[in-house]
Structure 1
Amino acid sequence: MIIVLIDNGHGSDTPGKCSPDGRHREYLWARDVAQRLEKALTEEGITATRIVTEQRDIHIAERCRRANAVCRQHGAKNVILVSLHNNAAGNEGQWLDARGWTVHVSLNASSRSKRLAQLLYDQAERLGLQGNRSVPKERYWIQNLGICRDTNCPAVLTENLFQDNREDVAILQSEEGRQRIVELHVEAIKNYIKEYNL
């Protein structure tokens, strides 16, 4: 049995993290999509839970502590973590051109983290969400991300479109767009479970 941990990203008190016009707030979007993803996975018979149910920002050390407690209880190989975010090309409050979907792993990523990332990117591409970014041959980006680095299970961080791109914000704000992103995660997770016979 596998347990999918869903991390909502930032909180209501995190500065910035919104579209230039203020109508898109990352913390609200991430919590809505996390709840949808939890429900969709549960309906597929997959155990899923959010590690952050609070509206406020929860420090990354506490989020990692919560994830690692589940790993200790069920075995790290039986757990995966997905952290949901929106990307931004700048921080000056202007609309910019970069758009699309990316997935990230840590510098110390396991082979399973990398494989989960590849499966996620494959689904994003299938759903037409890859955008205009240059894609590395591995189909994932490597960064020093605490939520992936300091958790004991396979972990990825998804940047679900750009909150400072008008076209991407329109997708993020739409019902159809949110459901596409949920579908992306569900199908990739199902493929991961099948591949590793979990």
Structure 2
Amino acid sequence: MKILIDNGHGRATAGKRSPVWPDGKQLFEYEFNRAIARRVHEALTARGADCVPVVPEIDDIPLAERTRRVNEIAAQAGPENCLLVSIHANAGGGTGWEAWTSVGETEADSYATIFYEEAARAFPEQRMRMDTMDGDPDKEAHFYLLRHTTCPAIITENFFMDTEADCRLILSEEGRKRVADMHVSVLLRCIEYHRNK
């Protein structure tokens, strides 16, 4: 199985940052997303997994181009043999962790369930934001990257950068290590799940 790692947004993407907290610290989403994506890529590669960064650039790459890159790789490997994970920090004043897939029952739902299981284990003190109306925990939306990629795709929203407690978690080295390690644990399970299907 080929794991495709996407890091959302770029250094110039408007609004994708936390407030400046009283101690002067601020989170820039492009930096956080890339830091987690880099750690995940390095850890999976070290374990022999086939892992490809979709956006190595620091600039914001348009969704259509990111989708094109994913679909080009999926066409070569077979869409059923790929999994896209797009790593983000959340915003909107909430708290907790969540994952998104495309609308309807798809293969991505099975992978997202693994994400929720591992996220709950890795962050037992944090809220898992779920939508269980359709029998699984992931949230669903018509987000561009989820709708237009040919392989299973998941967006992870790793805590809220505009809520101080969440933001301080993902600004910290410990928090980043926990987020990255959780993604690695999930993706190793996804590879095993795919192998045994």
Could you tell me how far apart the structure 1 residues matched to 2:125 and 2:70 are? 29
Q: Which residue identity lines up with residue 12 of structure 2 in the other structure?
A: D
Identical pairs, percent: 35
- Secondary structure at the residue paired with 1:180? helix
Q: 1:155/1:130 Cα in 2 relative to 1: closer, same or farther (>3 Å)?
A: farther
Could you give the per-residue CA deviations for residues 98-142 of structure 1, whole angstroms, max 9, x where no partner exists?
A: 2111000012562x2001111001111111267346522221100
Could you tell me how far apart the structure 2 residues matched to 1:185 and 1:162 are? 17
Q: Which residue of 2 aligns with 1:52?
A: 55
Could you tell me how far apart the structure 1 residues matched to 2:63 and 2:194 are? 28
RMSD of the alignment, in Å?
1.6
Could you give the per-residue CA deviations for residues 2-41 of structure 1, whole angstroms, max 9, x where no partner exists?
A: 1111111011111001111171000011111111110011
Could you tell me how far apart the structure 2 residues matched to 1:16 and 1:130 are? 28
Q: Which residue of 1 aligns with 2:97?
A: 101
Shift of 1:194: 1.4
Q: Which one of the candidate residues 175, 178, 189 is aligned to 1:177? A: 175
Q: 1:68/1:108 Cα in 2 relative to 1: closer, same or farther (>3 Å)?
A: farther
Q: Which residue of 1 aligns with 2:190?
A: 192
Shift of 1:56: 1.2
Aligned pairs for 1:118-129 within 5 A: 118-128=113-123
Q: 1:64/1:24 Cα in 2 relative to 1: closer, same or farther (>3 Å)?
A: same
Could you tell me how far apart the structure 2 residues matched to 1:130 and 1:81 are? 27
Give structure 1 regions of 4+ aligned residues with deviation exceeding 2 angstroms.
129-137
Aligned pairs for 1:1-198 within 5 A: 2-21=1-20, 23-89=26-92, 96=93, 98-108=94-104, 110=106, 112-128=107-123, 131-132=126-127, 134-137=129-132, 138-197=136-195
Asked if the contact 1:102/1:141 (under 8 Å) is kept, the reply is yes
- Secondary structure at the residue paired with 1:82? strand
Q: Which residue of 2 aligns with 1:92?
A: none
Unaligned runs of 5+ in 2: none
Unaligned runs of 5+ in 1: 90-95
Could you tell me how far apart the structure 2 residues matched to 1:81 and 1:130 are? 27
Q: Which residue identity lines up with residue 163 of structure 2 in the other structure?
A: N
Could you tell me how far apart the structure 1 residues matched to 2:56 and 2:129 are? 34
Q: Which residue identity lines up with residue 109 of structure 2 in the other structure?
A: K
Could you tell me how far apart the structure 2 residues matched to 1:7 and 1:150 are? 14
Q: Which residue identity lines up with residue 9 of structure 1 in the other structure?
A: G
